[in-house]
Copies of this chain bind each other. A is one copy, B any other.
Amino acid sequence: MFKKVLVANRGEIALRVIRALREMSVKSVAVCSEADKNNFYCGLADDCICIGPAPAASSYLNISQIISAALVKKCDAVHPGYGFLAENPHFAEICSSYGLSFIGPSPETIALAGQKAEIIDLVKRKKIPVIPGSKGVVANAAEAKKIAAGIKYPVIIKATAGGGGKGMRIVRSEKDIEQAFELAGTEAKNAFSDSGLYVEKYIESPRHIEIQVAADKKGKVVFFPERDCSIQRNHQKVLEEGPSPQINSNLRKKLGETACRVAKLINYTSVGTVEFLVSKDDFYFMEMNARIQVEHPVTELVSDIDLVKMQIALAAGEELKLRQDDIKEICHSVECRINSEDENYTPSAGTLEKLILPGGPGVRVDTAMTSGAEISPFYDSMIAKIITYGRNRTEAIMRMQRALMEIKIEGVTTNIKLHQKILKNENFIKGCYTTDFIGDMK
């Protein structure tokens, strides 16, 4: 096992990793920007080092400072968290060139998972269902038009390097495709410095279902009960739950086995997530996220397995001790991401004058915030993840409603009311929803 791990991230996921390391008796070194220096969670690591000024480009994305910090603090491994450098294959490679274990899959696997068109092409060849569409990058609008005619409208144009809805366009008829293609290309170029686009069939009202997997270096892969992340706004997940109320055990098993096949195909050797679009009983592979995810606690509660500790153990070369049969659905879990947002759902910075968090039975809170902390304009505006669980879906939802009532936040506005609206929505309560849910709710 590692002796000392550098936690190359900030906020709640940094604290999540620090907690896991502490529970494994592994020393932790937090890194922080100048803006985070006084944050409570930094003091919970064994050591903390400032790596640069507030802007992420100069601190949390500054590879040389992070590597230098790991070296001078004599760490033997680096945990990248999510976001920032977590899916940067170069960073993973640089870590290993300096003798630091990167807690995640290999640089090659990260690179492959990051090239959406390539991985889709790869899994398609293995007869894993994917959304019909282009093989790789589409050269121009004319080619896009030809493909669209083949797979039939509606189609969706996506950036190969994309994420978060940037460089994405839904096209419902041939007359709109040229303009949409140009716009998406420009947007992708601006956001990712890569204007590569691909075109695929647009699946109407699908569910976003993802499967957590864990794989060791000997090629053993297991899957966990799915998370339903269909409740999204502008392609950003808002509320997640597991298991999905819309997936039967037959489909669950099919999705799980498919996810394991994908992980094996790309030599995955860590915890990771395979995302699917599900429409009725059909499912389509979308992508693989080569990192721990924001919503991982849902799975931790459902299965009572600590994914971050498992991730660290796998990176240290331990074999997966779990058999597939050991992974059970013990309970139902729901997660709400509490963000600092104004009434237009725009992230807003400010001081948390007061923060009282919920507690009691069936409530888990993951946050790096305390009363008096700053929501910095330099970073994302998530205040806390509230995760509840119960013996069944109703208990988990009732607990979430109860927990949200207990939160007191002063100084910033939040999206708690949106969550409350979702939790009381009749279709949500029935478990009938798709990615259109929030749009339709208004």
Contact = CB atoms under 8 A, between A and B. Distances in A.
Interface of A: 15-16, 19-20, 22-25, 40, 44, 297, 300, 304-306, 308, 330-331, 356-357, 359-367, 370-371, 390-391, 395, 398-399, 401-402, 405-406, 408
A10 to B, nearest CB: 16
Contacts of A44: 405-406
B395 A370 contact: no
Given A306-B362, A362-B306, A370 B356 contact: yes
A305 B360 contact: no
Most buried by B among A16, A331, A360, A405: A360
Contacts of A25: 398
A155 to B, nearest CB: 42
A19 B304 contact: no
Copy number in this complex? Answer: 2
Given A357-B357, A366-B359, A395-B306, A402 B22 contact: yes
Contact of A330 (B16, B304, B357): B304
Contact of A19 (B20, B306, B361, B367): B361
A359 B364 contact: yes
Contacts of A370: 356
Contact of A398 (B23, B297, B371): B23
A423 to B, nearest CB: 13
15 contacts: A15-B360, A16-B360, A22-B398, A24-B398, A40-B356, A44-B406, A304-B391, A305-B391, A306-B362, A306-B395, A359-B364, A359-B366, A359-B367, A360-B366, A361-B366
